[in-house]
Structure 1
Amino acid sequence: MTLKPAMFLDRDGVLNVDHGYVGTPDRFDWIPGAREAIAHANRADFLVFVVTNQSGIARGYYSEADFARLRDHIRAELAGTGAWIDDERHCPYLEDAPIEAYRQASTWRKPEPGMILDLLDRWPVDRSRSFLVGDRDSDLEAARRAGIAGHLFEGGDLHGFLLDRGLLPPA
């Protein structure tokens, strides 16, 4: 089995503008360069993963079904540009969640590395050539705990960010 590099992406603030608890397509606005970054990674034979905390589910702002519809919307928009996400994980759990079914600690909730580790266990990932892009310290901490590089994205053009740092090969 040939190992591949992987690009792990947080969602809110990295793929889309973080309007606060984005759980429906009408509130989803792409970050500039996000679709291009994913397409570039696909062409460069990187695995592309999304790892996202989704406490908006635990807080009752949107449902798991809403989240699934948004995930399908994202995938459809990417498919229109010839891009794709290979796999994703989300963590709806929150220790003080208003909705009891989601009220628990989870090793998947960043800064814990559970989502990343699960993907590393299920896919042929070359950890040494893989990285995570997140917009919070908790994202970077999850990457560190999982044994991959983490990069802080503070806005702007995601594709340009990845190219400027040499995280993706030149087009």
Structure 2
Amino acid sequence: MLVILDRDGVINRYSGEYICSVEEWLPIASSIEAIARLTQAGHTVAVATNQSGIARGYYDHLILEQMHAQLHRLVQALGGKVDCIAYCPHHPDEDCQCRKPRTGLLEDIRQQLGLKDLSEAVMVGDSLKDLEAGLAAGCKSAALVRTGNGKETERYLRQHPLARVSVWNNLAAFVDHLLSQ
């Protein structure tokens, strides 16, 4: 199964401020371990992340690639693998097709991995736009984690529920459930 993860708030700590350097990119330890467990169990892991900080001039593509290299190193050190990372560098005003909740990032991941569709994939995120992108792209389901913006998103979903969305304390809890099935 393909598990597509949002980055900020799911894999790394996120307080609402832009993460502009490798030093500011602080992983959630249980998330790194969860990714390793997913890949060790035979699942494919991809990351789909909006990174408008590039368009805003807060950091550049090289800094972002350094953050992602750190993610790869940490996951590999635990015996895991991130198979694909897709990111949107655009400003929200640019009206691009890749910025979540649009589906361009997920389509990019589908193509990079050579998949016919995403009907067996799960999208894991901490915001409504993550969940909406996953469901619109045809993912089997979406999982909301309460880390990052997740608690705020969960409050919204109580008033505006989405079908095929489950809620978990964090990525590790979601992975525990997935691997127990």
TM-score bracket for the superposition, by shorter chain length: 0.7 to 0.9
Q: What's the counterpart of residue 127 of structure 2?
A: 136
User: What does the per-residue CA deviation read over 1:145-167, in whole Å, with 9 as the maximum and x for residues that have no partner?
Assistant: 1000111111254212332xx3x
Gaps of 5+ in 1: 97-103
Task: Please name the residue that 2:174 is paired with.
Answer: 161
Corresponding letter in the other structure for 2:142: G
Question: What residue identity is the alignment partner of 1:136?
Answer: S
The whole-number CA distance in structure 2 between the counterparts of 1:38 and 1:77 is: 10
Letter in 2 for 1:169: L
Contact 2:48 2:86 in 1 (8 A): yes
Q: Structure 1 residues 27, 124: closer, same or farther in 2, change over 3 A?
A: same
Alignment of 1:117 with 2:107, yes or no, is yes
1:78-157 superposed matches below 5 A = 78-96=75-93, 104-125=94-115, 127-148=118-139, 149-155=141-147, 156-157=169-170
Contact 2:51–2:90 (Cα < 8 Å) also in 1: yes
CA distance in 1, matches of 2:37, 2:75: 12
> Which shows bigger deviation, 124-133 or 35-44?
124-133
RMSD: 1.8
Offset at residue 81 of structure 1 (A) = 1.4
Task: Say whether the 8 Å CA contact 1:32–1:158 is kept in structure 2.
Answer: no
Match of 1:23 in 2: 20
**Aligned 8 A contact 2:90 2:96 in 1:** yes
1:28-47 matches, within 5 Å, as 28-47=25-44
Identity %, equivalent residues: 33
Which fold has the larger relative contact order, with Cα–Cα distance below 8 Å and residues 6 or more apart in sequence? 1
Kept in 2, the 8 Å contact 1:33–1:160? The answer is no
Tell me by how many angstroms 1:9 deviates: 0.3
Q: 1:170 matched to which residue of 2?
A: 180
> Which amino acid counterpart does residue 180 of structure 2 have in structure 1?
P
- Count of residues in correspondence between the two structures: 157
Q: Render the CA deviation track for 1:32-51: whole Å, top value 9, x for unaligned.
A: 41011111110111110000
TM-score after normalising by structure 2: 0.80
CA contact (8 A) 1:31 1:158 kept: no
Name the amino acid aligned to 2:112: R
What are the ranges of 5 or more consecutive residues in structure 2 without an aligned counterpart? 148-168
Following superposition, the deviation at residue 116 of structure 1 comes to 0.5
